[in-house]
Amino acid sequence: SGLITRLQTSAPTIRTLSSSNSFSQNMPSCVWKLGRLNHVAIAVPDLEKAQSLYKDVLGAQVSETVALPEHGVYTVFVELGNTKLELLHPLGEKSPIASFLQKNKAGGMHHICIEVDDIKAAMTELKKKKIRILSEEPKIGAHGKPVIFLHPKDCHGVLVELEQA
């Protein structure tokens, strides 16, 4: 019985969070809500090879190439079960993807895109919280919806795109 007593007294205490202490209740309330991950964007130096990898090798459904001159990119979307990958390739010399690929010759993750229910309210609140937005007004993104980009230095090194849901 001495061993059982020692085990009982030395066992770690397990604490659980009660509903009054839940994570979501400690979050500040916002006028806008963050939604689901829409896509992860990958800059690629060779768009045809990247399309082939996802379509022919991995068997994914891959969209046609779409030119977005206002963003300086060609885009291709790879459909996944729960989100998408966006393959980005430069369109023109002033493309932000061209400068990214100059620094990252093999390509790589460029940004993540998260949906929001009210992009204007998000912009107003983020500016108050000193998060830099890379444009004064939302632009129309690849899905035909308003988008903004948040400065990576304000988002722990990640370029974050917010898209109106």
121 Cβ neighbours under 8 A, 6+ residues apart:
30, 31, 32
pLDDT of res. 26: 56
Percent of residues, the chain, with pLDDT higher than 90: 78
Please tell me the distance from the alpha carbon of residue 145 to that of residue 76, in angstroms, as a whole number. Answer: 16
Judge whether 86 lies within some domain. Answer: yes
Judge whether 154 lies within some domain. Answer: yes
- CB-CB neighbours of 133 under 10 Å: 17
Please tell me the distance from the alpha carbon of residue 21 to that of residue 158, in angstroms, as a whole number. Answer: 30
Judge whether 150 lies within some domain. Answer: yes
Q: What pTM did the predictor assign? A: 0.80
pLDDT of res. 27: 56
Tell me the pLDDT of the chain averaged across its residues: 88
pLDDT of res. 30: 77
91 Cβ neighbours under 8 A, 6+ residues apart:
67, 68, 69, 71, 72, 73, 74, 97
pLDDT tens-digit series, residues 88-145: 999 988 899 999 999 999 999 999 999 999 999 999 999 999 999 999 999 999 999 9
Q: How confident is the model at residue 86 (pLDDT cuts 50, 70, 90)?
A: very high
Judge whether 19 lies within some domain. Answer: no
Judge whether 110 lies within some domain. Answer: yes
Q: Shortest CA distance to 150 belongs to which of 112, 117, 118, 121?
A: 112
Judge whether 100 lies within some domain. Answer: yes
Domain containing residue 49: CATH number: 3.10.180.10
Q: Are 100 and 116 in contact (CB under 8 A)?
A: no
Least confident of 19-33, 62-76, 103-117: 19-33
What's the first-to-final CA gap in the chain, in angstroms? 62
What's the domain count of the chain? 1
Which residues form the domain of 145?
37-164
